[in-house]
Amino acid sequence: MSNSVSELTALSQKDIVGIFKQNLIDEADFKQSDTHVFIVLGASGDLAKKKIYPTLWWLYMDGLLPEDTYIVGFARSPLTVTDIQRNIYPYLKVREEQKGVLEDFVGRNSYVRGRYDDPESFRGLDAHIRSLVKGRKANRLFYLALPPSVYESVTRNIKEACMGHGGWNRVIVEKPFGKDLESSNKLSSHLNSLFREDQLYRIDHYLGKEMVQNLMVLRFANRIFGPVWNRDNIATVVLTFKEPFGTEGRGGYFDDFGIIRDVMQNHMMQMLCLVAMEKPSSTSSDDVRDEKVKVLKAVPPVEFSDVVLGQYVGDCRGEGEAKKGYLDDPTVPKGSVTPTFATVVMYIQNERWDGVPFVLRCGKALNERKAEVRLQFRDVAGDIFDSQCKRNELVIRVQPNEAVYTKMMTKKPGMFFSPEESELDLTYRERYKDVKLPDAYERLILDVFCGSQMHFVRSDELKEAWRIFTPLLHKIEHEKIKPLSYVYGSRGPQQADELLKRVGFRYEGTYKWVNPNKL
């Protein structure tokens, strides 16, 4: 879009949506007259109810879907469209004046009941799609909002019974994409035997977040960062993902995967790639993903000596309601050693980053909700201020309260000639007061309609990420390594902070970013 930032902030939300829509129409490979059918496989599940249907509603409400779009739910449950509407309504955020639009949206929905392993059910689904207006030649999007255990049978049945021949076919696959390198390769081989790579959209919702997408713009659209974005100037890169809640009834699911598979191998490695990759030759999907793969290929498998694992225990010390530990969750197997916290140090063995530690830390039941990228720069050479200078940092805060800020030294105001730490702060809610930031799923589902795969995971990316973590995961599980205990609501195990200090990160700054909405 050609509008400047100042012009955008002055526009109404309606104006912004209009510009965004026209930009998408110009770039997309669909015609507005085409019919599109979005098939939600697993329509009765939580993901469909809480994310997929609400996302489709928000896109429809903003006029961002192609005009002739139909939504077909498919699941084993005996549901009706009325049942689906009742189930999803609490998550739609419908204002009074939008109820007429909601009726139109519901009218575009239908439902087919069937079994995931039954070819006849999918032939019935195909017949239903063809019965829709212009359905025979419709573009088809299949969203697998399903457990991985049924991926193989569902995708085989899609290929054999439901592929349209008049338009394109695209399949959206939710993580987890396997549990280790072997299982991931098996799934990839199965999918690649059925579909072309340009038909597969492996969705990692973190790639749809505003500040994750902003990493490429910050790096490659600003001259000031290019010369310093390397091992000569950056001492440490820390990527953080913290949640202030535990598994709380979902421990049975979580225990099969653990924090490394749940967060680190996918979300955090995608952020690492965007921080570390070289400038792509263009913003085309393959050019961007080629550079991400090069980063991953330069990372050796993680060494256990560079890892700290933790598992939260209950906190009965503080005031208010006591917090239960991971093993207190009745859905968690007794005596489980599954980590709920991990700090991992890895190194990228290429010319730009050789020797720079990349620290990935993530966990549940910690002291705050936060996801960020923090680049800590090296000490200023030739210090003339008697060691009063703190290290500069560039922080990209992904959530909550999106922000970009730089910690820097400035002269202390007044009758002083001494440095103190301050900041240059771009907090989105302050700078872009009237701009709605789309949900990650909104961006990504719209990308699938438009045929853009830049923010989706390619099979070779997936293979390299699993190569890095599989030896560590097998060691943890085969040797049943017991994680360190940390208290619910703490920063995590103290040993994790010690690991950061050992690899050169300094907790020495006096400035801490404060959410301006709380001032």
Cβ(258)–Cβ(338) below 8 Å: yes
**E-state strands within 63-195:** 68-75, 109-113, 139-144, 169-174
Question: Which tokens in the block code for residue 311?
Answer: 């598992």
Q: In what order do the strands lie in the sheet with 109-113?
A: 109-113, 68-75, 35-41, 139-144, 169-174, 200-203
Question: Which tokens in the block code for residue 510?
Answer: 């006096």
Does the annotation mark 455 as catalytic?
Answer: no
Amino acid identity for residue 429 in this structure: R
- Element holding 462 (H helix, E strand): helix 459-478
Cβ(407)–Cβ(374) below 8 Å: no
170: which DSSP letter? E
- Element holding 99 (H helix, E strand): helix 99-107
Q: Which of 85, 97, 88, 17 is nearest to 51 (CA)?
A: 88
| R_g (Cα) of the chain, nearest Å | 24
What are the backbone angles phi and psi of residue 243, rounded to the nearest 5°?
Answer: -125, 140
Question: Which tokens in the block code for residue 162?
Answer: 């439901």
Chain mean position to CA 55:
15
Question: Which tokens in the block code for residue 488?
Answer: 């619910």
Cβ(177)–Cβ(200) below 8 Å: no
DSSP annotation string for 402-450: -EEEEEEEEEPSSS---EEEEEEEEEHHHHSTTPPPPPHHHHHHHHHHH
Residue 14 to residue 421: CA distance in whole angstroms: 41
Bond from prior residue into 176 cis (ω within 30 degrees of 0): yes
Cβ(364)–Cβ(323) below 8 Å: no
Residue 453 to residue 444: CA distance in whole angstroms: 9
Residue 149 to residue 160: CA distance in whole angstroms: 19
Q: In what order do the strands lie in the sheet with 357-363?
A: 419-427, 403-411, 393-399, 370-377, 234-242, 357-363, 341-347, 307-313, 484-487
Residue 179 to residue 459: CA distance in whole angstroms: 15
- Catalytic one of 267, 455, 474, 478: 267
- Active site members: 267
